[in-house]
Amino acid sequence: MTGDVALSDLTTAARIANGGQGTVFRLSDPPGTLLKLYHPGTAVLSDELGRLIDLAGDLREVPVALPSGRVFDGGRCVGLLMPEAPERFVTTLAGRRRLLELQFLLYPRRAMWAELALPTGVERRRLAVAYVELFQALHHNDVVVGDVSMRNLLWTLAGGPGVFAIDCDGFRLAGRPPAVRPVDTVGWGDPARPREITLDSDRYKVALVTLRVLLGSHTMTPEEVCAGEFPSLGPELTALARHAVRPGRRPLAECWLGALAAES
């Protein structure tokens, strides 16, 4: 389902998540579509949301769940439609259906994860490459991700290592305001604290994702790499981490891809 729709025309099947900005429901019709209803009081720039929806055609090959439609009620934009993550990014843990979130790659294995197949070192590097390629494709289209967290980046080994981004209404075109109030997940922010989220601040987060996936750490930062010794990274990745701490001079995604290939 795409385009603008009235809330009254939608039939929800089940509430599946509740976050800081809204509640997500799985629609019974059409299948594979989710509805995100913003909490009361959430300001939505519907025109900017429309710009994200218009990007879908250019990014059809990019593994992201971009909004596919706006939901209106009483003339006000109150939510959005978006595709559900493909089934290969879903697993079952302790009898519960769970998305394969980035967090599973960044913490030591927990008892409730015992049945989860985690990547080998080679597969972990391929996942890092896939995440960097995701950012690369978005940045080439002047799309700023903004908020990055362990919850909105997914991964899978089914059918080969792959990644997928969800909760994408925080994306925005470079130089444009976000559709909804921007957030920055604790522990994933740009330490330079820029006045606005930019492609440069996104590049710092490319460094965070890459280093954390490779080292299996949920707290690793480029600054920590600069202060310590991490021989498993190799000289090229370590050098990129040093550049990533410098606002305005942060490496492009292409640089990380080149280093990942060289160090493999």
Contacts for 41 with CB less than 8 Å, ≥ 6 apart: none
Q: What is the reported pTM?
A: 0.95
Q: How far apart are CA 143 and CA 262, in angstroms?
A: 27
Domains and CATH numbers, the chain: 5-83 (3.30.200.20), 87-263 (1.10.510.10)
pLDDT in tens, 152-169: 999 999 999 999 999 999
Segment 57-94, tens digit of pLDDT: 889 899 999 999 999 999 999 999 999 999 999 999 88
Peptide bond into 182 cis (omega under 30): no
Which backbone phi and psi does 114 adopt, to 5 degrees?
A: -55, -35
Q: Indicate whether 200 pLDDT > 80.
A: yes
